[in-house]
Amino acid sequence: MAAGNVGALVTRGWLRKAIQEPRKQLRVLEAARGNAARHQYLKKRIPTAQYLDLLTGVKPIPTLPYNLPEIETLTEHLRSLGINKDDHVVIYDRGNYYPACRAWWLLRAYGMENVSVLDGGLPHYGHNAEATFEEGEESAAQYGDFEANPQKTLIKDFNDVKDVMGSRSTQIIDTRRHKHFMGEVDEPSDHTTRALQAMEQVTPTKMTRGHIPGSLNLPYELLIDPDTGLMHTKEELLELFNGHGIKLNKPIIATSYTGFTNCIVALALHLCGKVDCSIYYGSWTEWGQRADNDLQIRSPQKRSAAV
């Protein structure tokens, strides 16, 4: 199958066969954050994979701990991984989807056309007797010719979201868990704080609860089959979107906690034919620190306790 005909989600069988029958334009990347994750990559990885560090080129600030990477730095990083502008890039992670989906969105947002995610990531790939792995330092890749070409329609910032908030023409999907969406728990969450501290990222000290007015809640976990760890089928995803009032014929902006799990819903929408879902990369980490009170909605029973 030609690279241009490969979908946004590939199976372990497809990838294994593609690796065994080397294709000049196939590049495999493991997406993760920081040096600790790279150590895991060096212990066990899919053959031919290079390590894509999602923190490369990111200059965090308190409201944007996972800011967009600088274009020049990202370009150099991708070239050093052997990425060419016409390559087909397959991205995987350690099984929780959001690093691979963030990388999938990021590469598309910066101009890559043929990008796919490995369904189920490394764990599912390894659940096969024919699976083989590599370890140790990877071989240096031949320097690529990737050229960044930002696709601004896929990238949304604070003001972009503020401008369409409450609009009937644009839908905002929030992929956080329902208790966070409803403002029923303290912010920032302990999980987010620990994760940021572990990677020596800027940690928010004060953040309000609630959600963006007019947004719809679709927790990202619902997109994944809990029994298999694989993305739900197109038919199941369409039923899920319909059940949550999501209209695929309208512009959609996806938001989350730090700008990662919203990329999972963007991939799911892509599989259903909605290929232009935008990502609010600042997400609630930014909105909860910057937005005025009239730009947030909280659970009534928690309103008096909101920060």
What token pair was written down for 214? 């007019």
CA atoms of 12 and 117, how far apart (whole Å) = 10
Number of residues that make up the chain: 307
Find the helix or strand (DSSP H, E) in which 92 lies: strand 88-92
Q: What is the pLDDT of residue 299?
A: 61
Give pTM, 2 decimals: 0.93
CA atoms of 250 and 254, how far apart (whole Å) = 13
3-state SS record for 170-185? CEEEECCCHHHHCCCC
CA atoms of 98 and 4, how far apart (whole Å) = 24
CA atoms of 254 and 146, how far apart (whole Å) = 27
Residue 215 pLDDT > 90: yes
Residue 5 pLDDT > 60: no
What token pair was written down for 202? 């800027």
Relative to beta strand 252-255, strand 278-280 is parallel
Residue 159 pLDDT > 50: yes
In the sheet where 171-174 sits, what is the strand order? 155-156, 278-280, 252-255, 171-174, 216-217
- pLDDT tens digits for range 91-126: 999 999 999 999 999 999 999 999 999 999 999 999
Which CB contacts under 8 angstroms, 24+ apart, belong to 270-277? Answer: 270/8, 271/7, 271/8, 271/9, 271/231, 271/234, 271/237, 272/234, 272/237, 272/238, 272/241, 272/248, 273/248, 274/248, 276/153, 276/154, 276/251, 276/252, 277/154, 277/252, 277/253
Q: Which residues partner with 115 through β-bridges?
A: 89
For CA atoms 230, 276, 65, 141, the dihedral sign is: positive
Eight-class DSSP state of 294: G
Q: Which domains does the chain have, with CATH numbers?
A: 3-150 (3.40.250.10), 153-305 (3.40.250.10)
Nearest to 80 by CA among 23, 145, 24: 145
- pLDDT tens digits for range 28-87: 999 999 899 999 999 999 999 999 999 999 999 989 999 999 999 999 999 999 999 999
Q: What is the pLDDT of residue 195?
A: 81
Span 150-179, mean pLDDT?
A: 95
Q: What is the pLDDT of residue 201?
A: 77
